[in-house]
A and B are shown apart, each in its own frame.
Chain A
Amino acid sequence: MGPSVQYHCPCLSTSPVPPPPHLPSSSHHFHPLHNLFFCEECDAVRCNRCVAVEVSTYYCPNCLFEVPSASVRAEKNRCARNCFSCPICRNTLSVVSSDPPETPDGRSSTTVNASGEPPFFLYCNHCRWDSAEIGITFEKPTGLAAQLQKYEDSAPDALEFDRLKDHFEPFLRASSLSSSIAVHAAHPGSAAHSHHLHSASITAAASAALARDIPGVGKYTPISRTASGRAHRDRTANKDEMPEYKSRVDIASVGIGAGGGESEVDYMRKLRDVQTVGSLEQRWGNSWAGSLQVKDLRPLRIPLHSKRSKRCPACTHILIKPEQKAQSVRYKIKLVAANYLPAINVVLPHLQKPIVTSDAARRTLMKISPQSIDDGTTPPGLVAGKTYPFHLALTNPLYDPIQVRLSVQRVHVTTSGPSEKARRPPFAISLPTSPFPIAAFAEAWEYEDDEDMLVDDDDYEAGMKGRDKDGRGKAKTVGVLERRANVTLVGGEVIIGKEARGNVKFNMLVTYTYRSDDPTPSEVDGDVPKSSKPPEVKTFAFYTVVDLGPILPREEPRIEGDV
């Protein structure tokens, strides 16, 4: 992995400042730019961890059938057509027919019907498992799930689950009716879970249980509950009116290997071949602690996938809304951060070597420029005690030019303990301090003509100086090196201490100002631009973490390099 830049998502945190990069929690706060969303209403970055998610379509990942949400629950979130996964290797199983009957002349008959001869069975193309091994065969090659339905429904785990469901259903319905509205009003964030009625009723039940009266403990009365008469009904529904549930299946009596017990121990004692014991991964997908043995594993219907729309957690505006069709990759609404924030790429110029595809090309390049060939002597990283330039290329996605200012976040010594104070960040970063412009983004066709034109002379010279380390005199490394189209190349420098260890990783605050297209809506929303600026100019700031890669110790510079 080369050097990288990741972007901070505050995730509704009150403090917009990310933790210092040496803390483990730092990695939790930063994401690649392309995984982030941008809420125009809140003017804020959102990530997959903080958005509210709703399912818009369910589909089977194998047959790509779009399952109506009404039948998803009845089909237990799995494909109810012909899609099964191999119990051994999780591969998708295919339906195969038996061999056609031999004709007298010894050739297999070519006049078989299109679908083949019954019985049909499921066959794994990868591990060659087939369902005939465990006695599952089919009369016809379609509607396999329906043909297996009776086995599935009569399985002890399915029966038990149905009984449990029947048992709790009245109670859940009562409590979800009464409290789900209150719960959701109180915690809009929990809307993320509400797409699933099942989990919603569980949360409702749990919160109702938490809110009930316990003798001797002060009554917890959230405002939303006391405001209505619901709280009262909640309590009555909860008052241990539920009859006790008794399982109708005794685990020990089900037979060998059904979820532990003496028989299982006995089996394991006599075990000769470890292959006959199913691995945890193979048994994991079952809803019931079943047999340990591989021969008892059954093919499972393939779990459905979903397309999801995403909402801003604060204002519930839609950030992502996919097209209804399951296999479309288009979106009706797609507010991704890459369309709002400048993209930043970081490189270490001393590690940038052209790639050659053949020896002939390498020889030619050697003649023209021997020093640009990677001869293996450059240590693959940053060596302690040295100074390196690095380049940041900022790309403006907006149709207006922007002014960008970069600043390195100081690591607050106060936040770390006294022992931490001793090991200060072992490197120093210099970046241009003054703001610099990035030109507006234009559509690709506007660049088409000048794509392979040379840089004009000023930029060319600046670029030459910046990258020319072994060249004439003192090279300019910090500052704007080059500007081209909507990209500006900025140079920085890192000075690494002699005893430095770990990664060169620092937080960088990026502030940019842009001309707002329509100042009117933002005023309506009360989204006041920075008062010191003219009203049509807005400022946005975000944090990034820049990782330049590991620092290599000076003694053995080539050992731990993995770049």
Chain B
Amino acid sequence: MVVDFGEEGMKDAARTGSDYAPISANKNPKGRSPFLDIPHPCHYPLLSAIMDPPIYYSRSEYIETDTGNKVSRRATIAGPQNIVLGGKTIISSGAIIRGDLRRTGPGHTVVIQLGRYCLLGEGCIMRPPYKTFRGAFNYYPMKIGDHVHIGAGSVIEAATIGNHVEIGKNCIIGKFTIIKDCVKIADNTVIPPNTVIPTLAYFGGSPGHFIEDLPESTQEMVEAQSKQYYTRFQALDRQ
């Protein structure tokens, strides 16, 4: 299910040259702008888009991979060969992913693994956690599940983030934090290192603490929202 982002895609992401050939639209027809067909600006082809306005990006800014990942050219992707994106994941501009902070030792390692339908907001920083264990300093891999939305300006150093997790804006998720499935973290929360956040919990504050239980249907809601966000996230071409 998890599809490797592939070296080509990531190399593209790192490339900033203007001679970049745009990825053809027929690879992912959903990325096509509705404006090509419809002159009127208030008409969107999807009802979901009618209820929630589309989010437009300029096509030249984003790279779209075969599996539907959309990666901003203005994001800093370090060590792309160590990063795996699941597909239909959006990496916004200004985000920094430190795939280069890998475990010492030979061989190929996956440093950061993201699932499907994830969103990394603008200016997010993802950095694998590190510690000195038995006198040896090392980085440890970070694994993030499906349908994980991370708000703008957050810093993530978690060890594991489950599926269907929403993290607000300007949060700090400390080193080796374990976030289970269906968790919501309020804006501006600071989660100290080594925290464990159980399922269906709503966390907030500094230091982050349990606020309340989330409803039983959180999983379905978050899934619908993250899929809808991907649909709303559309390219806008110059005419």
Contact = CB atoms under 8 A, between A and B. Distances in A.
Contacts of B43: 460, 463-464, 467
A92 B50 contact: no
Contacts of B47: 393, 482, 484-485, 487, 489
Interface in A341-368: 345, 347, 349, 352-358, 360-361, 364-365, 367-368
A61 B196 CA distance: 7
B216 A327 contact: no
A89 B208 CA distance: 10
B198 A338 contact: no
Interface stretch (A19-27, A419-427, A447-455, A552-560): A447-455
B19 interface: no
A464 B43 CA distance: 7
B42 A329 contact: no
In the complex, which range does the number of interface residues on chain B fall in? 35 or more
Given A329-B182, A452-B30, A354 B55 contact: yes
A357 B120 CA distance: 13
A126 B35 CA distance: 50
Interface string B190-215: 10111111111100001101100001
Given A336-B217, A354-B56, A482-B50, A455 B196 contact: no
B60 interface: yes
B181 A452 contact: no
Which of B174, B195, B236 gathers the greatest number of chain A CB atoms within 10 Å? Answer: B236
A334 B215 CA distance: 11
B58 A358 contact: yes
A463 B41 CA distance: 12
B55 A364 contact: no
A64 B217 CA distance: 22
Interface in B40-71: 40-43, 45-47, 50-51, 53-58, 60-61
A108 to B, nearest CB: 7
B39 to A, nearest CB: 9
A358 B216 contact: no
Contact of A61 (B45, B192, B198): B198
A98 to B, nearest CB: 15
B30 A364 contact: no
Given A61-B198, A334-B216, A489-B47, A357 B55 contact: yes
Contacts of B201: 61
A334 B207 CA distance: 33
A350 B23 CA distance: 35
B200 to A, nearest CB: 6
B200 A92 contact: no
B36 to A, nearest CB: 10
A377 interface: no
Interface string A461-488: 0011001100000000000001011010
Nearest to A360: B58
Nearest to B235: A361
A345 B180 CA distance: 29
A364 B41 contact: no
A522 interface: no
Nearest to A320: B216
Contacts of A1: none
B53 A364 contact: no
B207 A91 contact: yes
B50 A125 contact: no
A543 B51 CA distance: 22
Contacts of B35: 368-369
Contacts of A91: 192, 195, 207, 209
B71 to A, nearest CB: 13
A64 B61 CA distance: 43
Interface string B24-36: 0000011010010
A469 to B, nearest CB: 9
Contact of A63 (B30, B193, B196): B196
A331 B220 CA distance: 13
A467 B215 CA distance: 35
Nearest to A108: B135
A368 to B, nearest CB: 6
B76 interface: no
Given A355-B56, A467-B43, A89 B196 contact: no
Q: Tell me if B's interface is mostly helix, strand, loop or mixed.
A: loop
A459 to B, nearest CB: 10
A391 interface: yes
Contacts of B50: 347, 391, 393, 463, 482, 489
Interface in A309-349: 320, 326-329, 331, 334, 336, 338, 345, 347, 349
A521 B236 CA distance: 54
Given A34-B217, A59-B198, A61-B198, A329 B181 contact: yes
A305 interface: yes
A61 B55 contact: no
A35 interface: yes
B92 interface: yes
A454 B49 CA distance: 13
A367 B237 CA distance: 11
A62 interface: yes
B221 interface: yes
A32 B182 CA distance: 18
B219 interface: yes
B93 interface: yes
Nearest to A484: B47
B238 interface: yes
A454 B181 CA distance: 36
A110 interface: yes
A326 B181 CA distance: 11
Contacts of A354: 53-56
Nearest to A83: B196
Contacts of A59: 198
A489 B54 CA distance: 17
Contact of B198 (A305, A463, A489): A305
A61 B209 CA distance: 11
Contacts of A364: 56, 58, 236-238
Given A64-B198, A125-B174, A467-B43, A358 B93 contact: yes
20 contacts: A34-B221, A90-B207, A328-B199, A329-B182, A336-B217, A345-B51, A349-B42, A354-B53, A355-B56, A357-B56, A357-B93, A358-B57, A361-B61, A364-B237, A364-B238, A368-B239, A371-B41, A393-B47, A455-B45, A484-B47
Given A327-B180, A368-B236, A468-B42, 16 more contacts: A59-B198, A61-B196, A63-B196, A64-B180, A108-B135, A110-B134, A125-B194, A354-B55, A355-B53, A357-B56, A361-B57, A454-B45, A463-B50, A467-B42, A484-B47, A485-B47
Interface of B: 29-30, 32, 35, 37-38, 40-43, 45-47, 50-51, 53-58, 60-61, 92-93, 122, 134-135, 164, 174, 180-182, 190, 192-201, 206-207, 209-210, 215-221, 236-239
Closest 10 CB pairs of A and B: A369-B41, A110-B135, A360-B58, A372-B41, A361-B58, A126-B192, A91-B207, A126-B207, A125-B192, A355-B55
